[in-house]
Amino acid sequence: MSSVPSPISGTSLQVSTVHGTVRGTVERGVAVFRGIPYAAAPVGALRFRAPEPPEPWEGVRDALAFGPTAPKRPYSPPLDRLLPDPDVAGDGCLNLNVWTPSPARTGLPVLVWIHGGSLLHGSSAVPLYDGTAFARDGVVLVSVNYRLGIEGFGVFPDAPANRGLLDQIAALAWVRENIAAFGGDPDLVTVCGESAGAISIGALLAAPRAQGLFRRAVLQSGAPTALPLGAAARRTTELIAKRLGVEATAGALAAVDPAALLAAQTEVTSGGSPLTGGNSFQIVVDGDVLPRDPLEALLDGAASGVDLLMGSNSEEYRLWFVPSGLTERLSAFKLRLALLKFKVPGATTRTYRANRPGATPGELLGALATDLLLRVPLNRVADARTEARGSTHLYEFGWPSPVLRLGACHALEIGFVFDTLEMPDAVALAGADAPQELADAMHAAWVAFAGSGDPGWPAWDASRPVMGFGPGKPAVLRAPRDEELRGWAPYRKNA
């Protein structure tokens, strides 16, 4: 790394990009540039279209405040209290932010953060995603906005699919072209995301247009998945159009007032969750941006040369089940119906129940759903990569939050990864006394992985090493809860 000293707080800095010069500021010893457009505003003729480059500008453009966020609504209660979701007005939502030790540095590793939110919520303006700690530790942190909901992932006969994914690819192309001016190495880019952000990265790993734009990838609490381009993929779009009384085409919906479109989207998609289902938006196998199912592609060797860090939280389900009361409200009868719907083998259910004496039907269903949707596919990807040119590392986050009995729930690990436990949104999930030493360990692992591909524990092999981040001190676990994992269909034939 360069020995150029960090800039002095309170000063301003200018950096030239391919589209024009931007002015940032220095905060807490690192340089910050916010709201830089990486694509043109997706309005007018560009609405429901693939992203286009931004118009170049003359002079110096201020990059001092977060740019507009994609059209969205806050999370529904009670999640709105646990997951703050800032809204910044404006049309130019295709923007990004950069935190860097100094633009005068050279060759620094780069981490590009893709936020989660079920492809309906979230933005790069969430305080939890502050990149100061990464820049402090020698990593250039880039966080991006992309189109959400029907604007980004609605399926139409007259518009390209996966527009939000195309936005992410455009942002990565911007990083490739511009990040050296901010001190980063364009050949040392790690793309990192949580939940829908991780699912997006699973698709990027299988997307030909994203090849060569990143060297490493981190998937937090999201597994590669996509829907075939059929009736199920079109369902949410068609329901929104029906509610508005228009055809389910991009042309018809482009004429709808954006506020009315957003209101209809909220009405159609409310009431579900990633675990319980409901009307939602998904990445689709469109034969163009995404030629095939990303999980199948990765199992067949796609992205072999990309280093992967993947993992989940041990009680993901509690973010949705506990605040809603489902952990106590779900009856044994409804549990049996759910197990039949998802074709969970009886022997598998008995194993999970034996390992959780006293668990309610809701807690048992949550544990099964967490593994079915996350741990099983992530382990399958790891198993398929034993001959890959890139390294593969797995982790599990297990520190239990005392807040509302949330336990080691979905999204809890983010404040530890970013070393932002003091932020109000981190406190909302983890409480005021979350262990800083665990954040130190987890953040350091992500920094190390971005720099070298080695987060500090053994790569995946036949012994199935998993780094456990809590409870207690971080420790490597060998094949944790393997008897549960091998109760699922992909593994039963090999058991």
Catalytic residues: 195, 316, 410
- The tokens describing 324, both together, are 């809603």
Integer Cα distance of 241 and 211 in angstroms: 35
Where b means 16+ CB within 10 Å and e means fewer, 30-66 reads bbbbbbbbbbbbbeeeebbbbbeebeeeeeebebeeb
| Cα gap 40→22, rounded to integer Å | 16
Q: Which long-range contacts (CB under 8 A, 24 or more apart) does 322-325 make?
A: 322/404, 322/405, 322/406, 322/407, 322/409, 323/78, 323/79, 323/82, 323/404, 323/406, 324/78
Sign of the alpha-carbon torsion through 454, 100, 223, 469: positive
Q: Which amino acid is at 340?
A: L
Rounded-to-integer distance, Cα 462 and Cα 459, Å? 10
The per-residue DSSP string of 451-467 comes to HHS--SSPPP-TT-EEE
Kindly state the tokens that stand for 187: 């050949």
C-alpha distances (whole Å) from 446 to each of 40, 62, 109, 221, 337 are 32, 30, 11, 15, 40
User: DSSP for 77-123?
Assistant: TTHHHHS------SS---EEEEEES-TT--SEEEEEEE--STTTS--
Classify residue 271 as left (phi > 0), alpha (psi -120 to 50) or beta. left
241-to-44, 180, 248, 277, 285 alpha-carbon distances in Å: 19, 44, 5, 20, 22
Q: How far is CA 292 from CA 227, 244, 286, 393, in A?
A: 10, 32, 8, 24
Show Cβ contacts of residue 102 under 8 Å, excluding neighbours closer than 6 positions. Answer: 4, 5, 6, 7, 30, 31, 183
